[in-house]
Amino acid sequence: MQNRIFFPQAALDMWLSEGTIDLQGTELTVSREARRYRLLEAAHVRSEVTGAADVNELVGRVKSKQYLQELGAELLESSLILGDNAYDVTPGFLATPIGTFEEFLVSADHKALTAASGEPDPKDDETLLTRLLG
Protein backbone atom coordinates (compact mmCIF):
# COMPACT_ATOMS: atom_id res chain seq x y z
CA MET A 1 0.00 0.00 0.00
CA GLN A 2 1.22 3.47 -0.86
CA ASN A 3 2.10 5.88 1.95
CA ARG A 4 -0.58 8.38 2.92
CA ILE A 5 -0.41 11.47 5.08
CA PHE A 6 -3.03 13.49 6.90
CA PHE A 7 -2.97 17.25 6.37
CA PRO A 8 -5.07 19.21 8.90
CA GLN A 9 -7.24 21.90 7.30
CA ALA A 10 -5.57 24.61 9.42
CA ALA A 11 -2.12 23.60 8.12
CA LEU A 12 -3.34 23.64 4.50
CA ASP A 13 -4.79 27.12 5.03
CA MET A 14 -1.46 28.36 6.42
CA TRP A 15 0.62 26.75 3.65
CA LEU A 16 -1.69 28.16 0.98
CA SER A 17 -1.36 31.68 2.38
CA GLU A 18 2.45 31.29 2.53
CA GLY A 19 2.60 29.94 -1.05
CA THR A 20 4.22 26.68 0.13
CA ILE A 21 1.58 24.61 -1.66
CA ASP A 22 -0.75 24.97 -4.61
CA LEU A 23 -4.22 23.48 -4.57
CA GLN A 24 -6.16 22.69 -7.75
CA GLY A 25 -9.36 20.75 -7.11
CA THR A 26 -8.36 17.55 -5.34
CA GLU A 27 -4.66 17.86 -6.21
CA LEU A 28 -2.09 19.43 -3.90
CA THR A 29 1.38 20.35 -5.15
CA VAL A 30 4.31 21.13 -2.87
CA SER A 31 5.50 24.23 -4.74
CA ARG A 32 9.25 24.05 -4.13
CA GLU A 33 9.58 20.43 -5.22
CA ALA A 34 6.65 19.90 -7.63
CA ARG A 35 5.57 16.81 -5.63
CA ARG A 36 1.89 16.15 -6.17
CA TYR A 37 -0.68 14.47 -3.93
CA ARG A 38 -4.31 13.45 -4.48
CA LEU A 39 -6.57 14.66 -1.64
CA LEU A 40 -9.58 13.05 -0.02
CA GLU A 41 -11.57 14.83 2.67
CA ALA A 42 -10.96 13.16 6.03
CA ALA A 43 -10.87 13.60 9.79
CA HIS A 44 -8.41 12.63 12.49
CA VAL A 45 -10.46 11.32 15.41
CA ARG A 46 -8.80 12.65 18.57
CA SER A 47 -11.09 11.53 21.39
CA GLU A 48 -14.48 10.20 22.40
CA VAL A 49 -16.10 12.88 24.56
CA THR A 50 -19.21 11.31 26.12
CA GLY A 51 -17.28 8.87 28.29
CA ALA A 52 -18.84 5.92 26.47
CA ALA A 53 -16.74 3.10 25.06
CA ASP A 54 -15.33 3.71 21.59
CA VAL A 55 -17.24 0.80 20.08
CA ASN A 56 -16.36 2.04 16.59
CA GLU A 57 -12.60 1.99 17.35
CA LEU A 58 -12.10 5.40 15.76
CA VAL A 59 -9.99 7.23 18.35
CA GLY A 60 -6.48 7.89 17.11
CA ARG A 61 -7.35 7.04 13.52
CA VAL A 62 -7.73 9.04 10.33
CA LYS A 63 -10.80 8.12 8.31
CA SER A 64 -12.16 9.52 5.06
CA LYS A 65 -15.32 11.58 5.26
CA GLN A 66 -16.96 9.13 2.86
CA TYR A 67 -16.15 6.17 5.11
CA LEU A 68 -17.50 7.96 8.18
CA GLN A 69 -20.71 8.91 6.37
CA GLU A 70 -21.14 5.30 5.23
CA LEU A 71 -21.00 4.33 8.92
CA GLY A 72 -23.81 6.82 9.55
CA ALA A 73 -21.65 9.50 11.19
CA GLU A 74 -22.48 13.18 11.09
CA LEU A 75 -19.51 15.57 10.80
CA LEU A 76 -19.71 19.23 11.75
CA GLU A 77 -16.45 21.18 11.93
CA SER A 78 -14.49 19.55 14.78
CA SER A 79 -17.29 17.24 15.97
CA LEU A 80 -18.40 13.81 14.87
CA ILE A 81 -21.54 12.03 16.07
CA LEU A 82 -21.98 8.31 15.47
CA GLY A 83 -24.76 6.52 17.28
CA ASP A 84 -24.42 7.21 21.01
CA ASN A 85 -20.82 8.38 20.61
CA ALA A 86 -19.52 11.90 20.12
CA TYR A 87 -15.94 12.58 19.08
CA ASP A 88 -13.55 15.52 18.81
CA VAL A 89 -11.95 15.49 15.38
CA THR A 90 -9.43 17.49 13.39
CA PRO A 91 -10.83 18.10 9.91
CA GLY A 92 -8.49 17.87 6.98
CA PHE A 93 -7.44 15.77 4.03
CA LEU A 94 -5.85 12.39 3.46
CA ALA A 95 -3.13 12.78 0.82
CA THR A 96 -1.80 10.03 -1.43
CA PRO A 97 1.31 10.68 -3.55
CA ILE A 98 0.68 10.78 -7.29
CA GLY A 99 3.14 8.37 -8.85
CA THR A 100 6.02 6.64 -7.15
CA PHE A 101 8.78 8.56 -5.40
CA GLU A 102 11.24 7.33 -8.04
CA GLU A 103 9.02 8.73 -10.82
CA PHE A 104 8.86 12.03 -8.97
CA LEU A 105 12.68 12.24 -8.67
CA VAL A 106 13.17 11.89 -12.42
CA SER A 107 10.28 14.19 -13.42
CA ALA A 108 11.18 17.27 -15.47
CA ASP A 109 9.35 19.61 -13.06
CA HIS A 110 11.29 18.33 -10.04
CA LYS A 111 14.63 18.40 -11.86
CA ALA A 112 14.08 22.00 -13.01
CA LEU A 113 13.17 23.20 -9.51
CA THR A 114 16.03 21.40 -7.72
CA ALA A 115 18.57 22.53 -10.31
CA ALA A 116 17.59 26.12 -9.58
CA SER A 117 17.75 25.65 -5.79
CA GLY A 118 20.89 23.51 -5.63
CA GLU A 119 19.40 21.36 -2.84
CA PRO A 120 20.03 17.60 -2.87
CA ASP A 121 17.15 15.27 -3.66
CA PRO A 122 15.16 14.09 -0.64
CA LYS A 123 15.43 10.36 0.06
CA ASP A 124 11.67 9.80 0.46
CA ASP A 125 8.30 11.56 0.83
CA GLU A 126 8.71 11.87 4.59
CA THR A 127 12.04 13.69 4.21
CA LEU A 128 10.58 15.96 1.52
CA LEU A 129 7.58 16.92 3.65
CA THR A 130 9.64 17.40 6.80
CA ARG A 131 12.07 19.65 4.95
CA LEU A 132 9.44 21.72 3.20
CA LEU A 133 6.48 21.80 5.53
CA GLY A 134 7.99 21.08 8.92
Q: Please give the pLDDT value at position 2.
A: 65
The pTM of this model reads: 0.86
Q: Please give the pLDDT value at position 31.
A: 84
Q: Tell me which residues of the chain have a pLDDT lower than 50.
A: 1
Q: Give dist(CA 68, CA 5) in Å, integer.
A: 18
Range(s) of the domain holding residue 58: 5-133
Q: Give dist(CA 36, CA 26) in Å, integer.
A: 10
- E strand or H helix at 8: strand 5-8
Q: Please give the pLDDT value at position 129.
A: 84
Helix, strand, or coil (residue 15):
helix
Structure confidence by residue, pLDDT tens digits, 45-69 = 999 999 999 999 999 999 999 999 9
How many domains does the chain contain in total? 1
